[in-house]
Amino acid sequence: MKKLYAALMTAFDENGNIDEQGTREMVRYNIDVNQLDGLYVGGSTGENFMLGTAEKKRVFEIAMDEAKGSDIDLIAQVGSPNLHEAKELAKFVTELGYKTISAVTPFYYNFNFDEIKHYYDEIVKDVDTKLVVYSIPALTGVALSLDNFAKLFENEKIIGVKYTNADFYLLERLRERFPDKLILSGFDEMLLPALALDVDGAIGSTFNINAKKAKAEIAAFEAGDIAKARQLQHESNDLITDLLNNGIYATLKLVFEELGVHAGYTREPMAKATPEVKAGAKRIYEKYFK
Between 32 and 71, how does the x/- string for binding to ligand SI3 read (CB under 6 A)? --------x--xxxx-------------------------
The stretch near ligand SI3 (CB under 6 A) out of 24-32, 115-123, 145-153, 204-212 is 204-212
Closest-by-Cβ residue to ligand SI3 is: 43
CA distance 277 to 246: 6
Number of helices (H), then strands (E), in the chain: 12, 8
Q: Is 45 annotated as a binding residue?
A: yes
55-75 exposure pattern, b = at least 16 Cβ within 10 A, e = fewer: bbbbbbebbbebbeeeebbbb
Tell me which stretch binds ligand SI3 (CB under 6 A): 79-87, 111-119, 144-152, 184-192.
184-192
189 touching ligand SI3, by CB under 6 A = yes
Q: How many CB atoms lie within 10 A of CB 226?
A: 13
Distance CA 161, CA 135 (A): 7
Choice between 40 and 149, CB closer to ligand SI3: 40
**Helix ranges restricted to H, 126-203:** 137-140, 146-153, 168-177, 191-196
Catalytic pick among 134, 163, 265, 285: 134
**Cβ closest to ligand SI3, residue 21 vs residue 241:** 241
Residue 87 designated active-site: no
Pick from 50, 196, 219, 248 the residue near ligand SI3 by CB under 6 A: 248
- Residue type at 194 in one-letter notation: A
- CA dist 265 and 283 (Å) reads 18
φ, ψ of residue 158 to 5 degrees: the values are -95, 105
Q: Is 40 a catalytic residue?
A: no
Query: Interface residues for ligand SI3 in 134-173 (CB under 6 A)?
Result: 139, 164
- Binding residue count for ligand SI3, defined by CB under 6 A: 19
The distance of closest approach from Cβ of residue 99 to ligand SI3 in the complex, given in angstroms and rounded to an integer, is 18
Q: Which residue, 19 or 188, has its beta carbon nearer to ligand SI3?
A: 188
Q: What does the alpha-carbon distance between residue 78 and residue 104 come to, in Å, rounded to a whole number?
A: 8
| Binds ligand SI3 (CB under 6 A): choice among 38, 79, 106, 186 | 186
Is there a cis peptide before residue 193, judged by omega within 30 degrees of 0?
no
Binder among 27, 152, 203, 229 for ligand SI3 (CB under 6 A):
203
Catalytic entry in 2, 56, 87, 162: 162
Q: How far is the CB of 276 from ligand SI3 (least distance, A)?
A: 20
List Cβ neighbours of 279 (8 Å cut-off, separation of 6 or more).
Answer: none
Separation CA 18–CA 267 (nearest Å)? 9
**H or E segment to which residue 230 belongs:** helix 226-246
Nearer to ligand SI3, 189 or 225 (CB): 189
Annotated catalytic residues are: 134, 162
Binding site for pyruvate: which residues?
45, 203
Interface residues with ligand SI3 (CB under 6 A)? 7, 40, 43-46, 139, 164, 186-189, 203-206, 240, 244, 248
